[in-house]
Structure 1
Amino acid sequence: MTGTGPDRWSVHGRADDDMSDRWREIVTATHLPWSVQAGTARPGGTFRARVRRWWVDDLALVDTECERTRGVRSRAQIADTDGEFVVVLFVRDGAETVRQGDRTTRLGPGDAVVWDSTGSARFAVAQRLVKRSLLIPRAALTEVGGRAWATPGITLDRSAPAVRLLSHYLDALTGTLPALGPAATVAARNATLELFAGAVRAAEDRGTAPGLVGDPVLRAAMVRYIDRHLAGPAITPAGVARAHGVSERTVNRVFSAAGQTLGGVVRSRRLARARDDLTAGDEPIATIAHRWGFFDSSHFHRAFTAQYGLSPRGYRSANGAARH
């Protein structure tokens, strides 16, 4: 999808079983499957909620205002989820408690937490809440690397510059998305991923002394090297090692510390560049594949489909570019 929205949902009425069912349908449609219950401060009171959703290509940006409610994601809801997602939740007003794994996080205005769709989770809202959620397909995160977002319940420090930058960027994005064309939407989506990755890495690095293997500066320098050479000859551990004055073993350990391989990072970032080109013009798909190191069209088709859930031709069609 390109930049669209916002799509809107709302409910208003007596907080009974029927209202809980209607609220569950909205939450499931916008935030993945949950079992939820609508509530009020007093029995028989009125429950109100409204939701707005913007698409940033394959990312969903969802704003919610609701009254007292609670929800659970257990085996049944996880099994009903199509795909795997990482979600960052910002509380803008009110309070919410989120539990995943052995972590319970109590969030107030300005606080943020990251949760993982593959694990059971609970939330509770005791008063009126205004929040924003960013839903990211896990496959998209391979483009920016790292395993930090697999940590359930990781909190983001609202005072951290990287977190403030992400929050302000999302504010600006909601006002501009409907006017963006396909290429600009993909660029906005990529910027969102990079800002999210930076915010999570800042949270993971907080209070730790960086070492050579875990040093995010070294890894970032290697990724910049990869990006500069994506359209060139094969990128090898030996070449990356020479460029940074380290051993090949160190190169491999830097990426394995993030749950990756050098080859996997190169392939993912080449696919991301090809993905951008598919919506930027009407070049033949084979030309784009060749530019980014995929000399076998069937291999490019399989790799792209595995990464993004659509074939290159299907992705181009879905994003409004010319068919080939």
Structure 2
Amino acid sequence: MDWTDDAPVSPMGGAWRPMIDITVPYADASRDHVLHSRWRRQAGDLLPAPPLTLPRRAEGAFRVRIRAQRLLDLPVEDQYSDAVAGATGGPGGHLENQIVTHITFTGRTRFATRGRQAVAAAGTVCVRRNDEPWDFEVARDTRAIAVGLPAGAIRFPGDIRAVTAPQTAPAARLLLAQLRLFAGLSEELGPAGATAARNAIVELFRGLVNDQVVDDREVSPALFEAARGYIEDRLLDDPDLDPGSIADALHVSVRTLYRVFAEQAPGPVMAYVRERRLDRARAELLSTRLTVSEVAARWHFADGSHFVKAYRKRFGEVPTARRKP
């Protein structure tokens, strides 16, 4: 990448606005103050600086260079940085209302929060929730594209704070291709086309997160419990309860939902739904004077005969076997 002013080309394509180009000697006793004051002078409120701390060295200089582009409400930055440490996220912190993605080409950024770590290394895509404080360390000669999404754009399943995928993964390749296309065409698109492209990118981010969570065995128990709770709350009131609506509510793919039930339950999703409805129907048969047909209809069975057959298969007896005369 040539960083001269007449070559503002980014790996994402498109026209990029020069925002930050700062060089500070590491030996300067006031290096941190110089860095922040120059940053404010160059970018103002358009690109707030996180709290940054430069290492002290006898020789050499720190350099940071950032070009920026905005795809509707998605800020995108082409970043280069030498070694530096800082903090981001959390209430009132830097980029607190964003989900931040680093597409790293060289170098590495290491993030840490509450005993957890996420590493945005060369050749990876790292998607990170920024709603709690993170400390970070940037390695020398780190080059990355940073993309910001609104905090509510992606719901991370379970207690996951960050998801990392190789740039060669199919979901990552598709995301990068769409992001490059949008960046290259953003100035030519009308409002409707730009909005459609923006929404497609957000959906691809969701797909990337969900595809990676599929491979995280530690998340399956939490997702299973969340799915059980959602199903239990809607057994009676939602006749159209199905894998698609459950997956949407949990912000995971249907494939992830199937995978979780295959690992955590003795049967498929809809088998679990049917069994829980039979359990609830049985409790009503033993505690109310509703007829078998009324209970079957109330718990969304197609007809009385279908209900009786399913009931006998689950409990080994007909629905009236334990009713008091």
TM-score, with normalisation over the residues of structure 1?
0.57
Residue aligned with 1:191, SS: helix
Superposed displacement of residue 29, structure 1: 5.3
Structure in which a larger fraction of residues adopt helix: 1
| RCO comparison, higher one (Cα < 8 Å, 6+) | 1
1:165 aligns with 2:174: yes
1:24-61 Cα shifts (integer Å, max 9, x gaps): 64799577662112457x43532222111211111111
Superposed displacement of residue 67, structure 1: 1.2
1:53 is matched with which residue? 68
1:36 is matched with which residue? 52
Superposed displacement of residue 214, structure 1: 6.3
TM-score, with normalisation over the residues of structure 2?
0.57
Give the 5 Å matches for 1:72-221: 72-73=87-88, 78-80=91-93, 84-141=97-154, 146-148=155-157, 151-206=160-215, 208=217
- Separation in structure 1 between the aligned mates of residue 138 and residue 32 of structure 2, nearest angstrom: 18
Give the 5 Å matches for 1:240-251: 240-241=240-241, 246=242
Matched to 2:16, the amino acid is P
2:32 is matched with which residue? 17
1:7 aligns with 2:17: yes
Give the % identical residues.
20
- Separation in structure 2 between the aligned mates of residue 94 and residue 138 of structure 1, nearest angstrom: 26
- Separation in structure 1 between the aligned mates of residue 48 and residue 213 of structure 2, nearest angstrom: 26
1:79-103 Cα shifts (integer Å, max 9, x gaps): 1557621111111112221223332
Asked if structure 2 preserves the Cα contact closer than 8 Å seen for 1:116 and 1:150, the reply is no
Asked if structure 2 preserves the Cα contact closer than 8 Å seen for 1:33 and 1:81, the reply is yes
Change (3 A) 1:126 1:27: farther
Residue aligned with 1:178, SS: coil
Residues paired across the two proteins, number? 221
Matched to 1:8, the amino acid is P
Superposed displacement of residue 256, structure 1: 4.5
- Separation in structure 1 between the aligned mates of residue 141 and residue 219 of structure 2, nearest angstrom: 41
Change (3 A) 1:139 1:258: closer
Give the 5 Å matches for 1:221-300: 237-238=238-239, 240-241=240-241, 246=242, 253-258=246-251
- Separation in structure 1 between the aligned mates of residue 139 and residue 106 of structure 2, nearest angstrom: 12
1:101-131 Cα shifts (integer Å, max 9, x gaps): 3322333221122222211101112211100
1:214-270 Cα shifts (integer Å, max 9, x gaps): 69xxxxxxxxxxxxxxxxxxxx943x44xxxx5xxx7775455449xxxxxxxxxxx
Cα RMSD, aligned residues only: 3.6
Matched to 2:104, the amino acid is V
Superposed displacement of residue 203, structure 1: 0.6
- Separation in structure 2 between the aligned mates of residue 24 and residue 168 of structure 1, nearest angstrom: 31
| 1:66 alignment partner, one of 78, 81, 85 | 81
